[in-house]
Amino acid sequence: MRPAIVIDTNVVIAGLRSPRGASFRVLELIGSDAFAVNVSVPLVLEYEATAKKQARTLGLTHAEIDTVLDYICSESSHREIYYLWRPFLRDPKDDLVLELAVESEADFIVTHNLRDFSGVNRFGVEAVAPRDFLGRHNFFRARK
């Protein structure tokens, strides 16, 4: 059974920044049979705002960012959030990731900010770094 995940914004940005790291590998595997990605409108809007704010340092145009986000959306399961767990985490932007993970019954929140997601296991979800997620599921094999 493939794991269901929610990808935190910092992983998307790190993946756009460098094609060498685990974050890029997570993005590269979107659309494969490796895992199921879940998104919500608020999370995609956060991806967009953050990426476009950093477009120059990422070396991408706004149109290129739109293309990447369109692909992520086309390969993800779209979820609506009908309830709020807020405030649960220290950062409200992290709460929207947790709410999506709970709504979608995700197995993992893939994030670089593990400390920010302390306690999410109470909701049946595990926060895990991209490298650990990939290693745990043997997703480091040859690239597509």
Per-residue three-class SS string for 83-128: CCCCCCCCCHHHHHHHHHHHHCCCCEEECCCHHHHCCHHHHCCEEE
In a domain? residue 143? no
- Check residue 82 and give its pLDDT: 75
Contact yes or no for 24/134 (Cβ under 8 A): no
Structure confidence at residue 138 as a pLDDT band (50, 70, 90): confident
- Check residue 92 and give its pLDDT: 75
**pLDDT (tens digit per residue) in 59-96:** 999 999 999 999 999 999 999 987 665 567 777 778 89
In a domain? residue 91? yes
Q: Return d(Cα 6, Cα 144) in angstroms, integer.
A: 22
Q: Return d(Cα 50, Cα 36) in angstroms, integer.
A: 23
In a domain? residue 78? yes
In a domain? residue 142? no
In a domain? residue 48? yes
In a domain? residue 68? yes
Structure confidence at residue 144 as a pLDDT band (50, 70, 90): very low
Model confidence pTM above 0.85: yes
The total number of structural domains in the chain stands at: 1
**pLDDT (tens digit per residue) in 14-47:** 999 999 999 999 999 999 999 999 999 999 999 9
**Cis-peptide, bond into residue 19, ω within 30° of zero:** no
How many helices (H) and strands (E) would you count in the chain?
7, 5
In a domain? residue 141? no
Owning domain of residue 73: 4-136
Nearest to 101 by CA among 86, 123, 68: 123
